[in-house]
Chain A
Amino acid sequence: MRVGIVGYGAYVPRLRIRVEEIARVWGHDANSYREGLGIEEKSVPSLDEDTATIAVEAARNAMRRAREVKPSEVGALFVGSESHPYVVKPTAATVAEALGLTPSLTAADTEFACKAATTAIQACLGMVKAGYIRYGISIGADTAQGAPRDALEYTAAAGGAAYVIGAGEGVIAEVEATYSYTQDVPDFWRRDGDSYPRHAGRFTGEPAYFEHVINCTRILLEKTGTTPRDYDYVVFHQPNSKFPLKAARELGFEDKKLHPGLLVNRLGNTYSGSSLLGLAAVLDVASPGERILLTSYGSGAGSDSFSIRVTAAIDSKRKLAPPVIYYLDKREYIDYSTYARYRRLFKER
């Protein structure tokens, strides 16, 4: 039985702030951030947008593409995020209600830094394969927080992507194999009640991101008996432009296989949305028969890898919803004072 993606959808808020504008406020050298992080601008949510609203918009786009799926056939919905609007009260229930999927389904919010939604895709794949549900939806969405003046402020962005998982003729991208790699690593965290995450600076590179992304991908390749040459595209979690490029080169993927799904220079790091928006951008252009390797990364730390093969069903479904590039182009720039107001950085009274 062919199991995989039957619909996908993206959403990115339209506001942007440029690296120069943030650097101007803090007296930083903009070029060192632009070149060091490989980022030009990042998306910013409007005052009335949060993880729940982004998740709904992305999931509505995914359901437009998954046109054969009736709301009553969706048996599970997960929202992976590190910026759920409530600490207690599930985003997933709000999204399920907005999509008209209630009450006959299971729903939950998942958390594992930036890989919460790829893990939920694995859960959906398992439930579909076991026959517990016909279709499941996993959504990765975030309105990422970076403390003012911290390096994270240049990249912490907003956006999300949703995937409808199912089986049969409607599958546009078959998941051939998946593998995960997890260890306890203190590279990035946020305690309950804190507004901003803390990170271990340079420690986030070698023992955290690269250790997990590279090993997870390498072991998936071994287990499936494939090599980088067997893939037409590779997508990694993208906290900046440098990390995924370095990981791809170390694993032996040519740069051109990474570029179609590398969005961080114009988008910023959308955390739980990051690798899944990259995958969506690849599905926007991929042809039947092409193969995609996806590896997410979540601090704390772990990676999920997927070997994906695009099917002929993609041609008729892709055009039913906007491509990622449309959202990247549809933008309005704001200055730092507007940004500060929208991010509620000013304390009143």
Chain B
Amino acid sequence: MSVSGVPRHWRSQRERYRLLGTYCENCGTSFFPRRKICPKCRRKGRTREVEFSGRGRVFSYTVIHVGSKTFDEYAPYVIGLIELQEGPRVLSQIVDCKPEDVHIGMEVEVCFRKLFEQEDGGIISYGFKFRPVDDSWVEYYGKLLAEKKARTAQT
């Protein structure tokens, strides 16, 4: 992307940073990317901006071994079609797991990463990617508390 591509890139920045889409209050449908009018309800639609929860499932995916020049240094990497909890499907890189561990139906959550860097001191583009959901941290607090009790009992 040349320096002249910066303004176009900047216009889509908010929805990349925060996973923003559109929700229609008339029919209850969510859309990504954002839309000005609801394609189902047309003029009757009442749309507003919504920040998605960031949770979803892998609907389909592919492993890229030879990427375009911009993304080549990430190879091999996984591009997935993510079905968000709210319904819309989002194309995104899936990170923090090996390509062989990705499967259809896998639960994923949003994270914030570098998307690409322009060469020769150009801009760095940031935005959402997805990683496997790991809620195992919830269990840690019970363990930490028990360890602390044991320590206090010793002294």
Q: Which residues of A contact B (CB under 8 A)?
A: 14, 46-50, 52-53, 56-57, 60, 85-86, 94, 97-98, 100, 256, 284-285, 287, 318-319, 322-323, 325-326, 330
Contact = CB atoms under 8 A, between A and B. Distances in A.
A53 B17 contact: no
A98 B141 contact: no
A330 B124 CA distance: 27
Given A319-B138, A322-B137, A53 B112 contact: yes
Given A49-B114, A285-B144, A323-B141, A85 B124 contact: yes
Nearest to B14: A97
A46 B138 CA distance: 25
Chain B contact-residue range equals 20 to 34
Nearest to B112: A56
B68 interface: no
Contact of A100 (B18, B111, B136, B138): B18
Given A53-B126, A285-B144, A325-B144, A48 B137 contact: no
28 contacts: A14-B96, A46-B113, A47-B114, A48-B74, A48-B95, A50-B124, A52-B126, A53-B113, A53-B114, A53-B126, A56-B112, A57-B112, A60-B112, A85-B124, A94-B17, A94-B126, A97-B17, A98-B17, A100-B18, A256-B151, A285-B147, A285-B148, A287-B148, A319-B138, A322-B137, A325-B140, A326-B137, A326-B140
Contacts of A287: 148
Interface in B125-144: 126, 129, 134, 136-138, 140-141, 144
B51 interface: yes
Q: Which of B14, B96, B126, B134 has the most CB of A within 10 A?
A: B126
Interface of B: 13-14, 17-18, 51, 73-74, 95-96, 111-115, 124, 126, 129, 134, 136-138, 140-141, 144-145, 147-148, 151, 155
Nearest to A321: B137
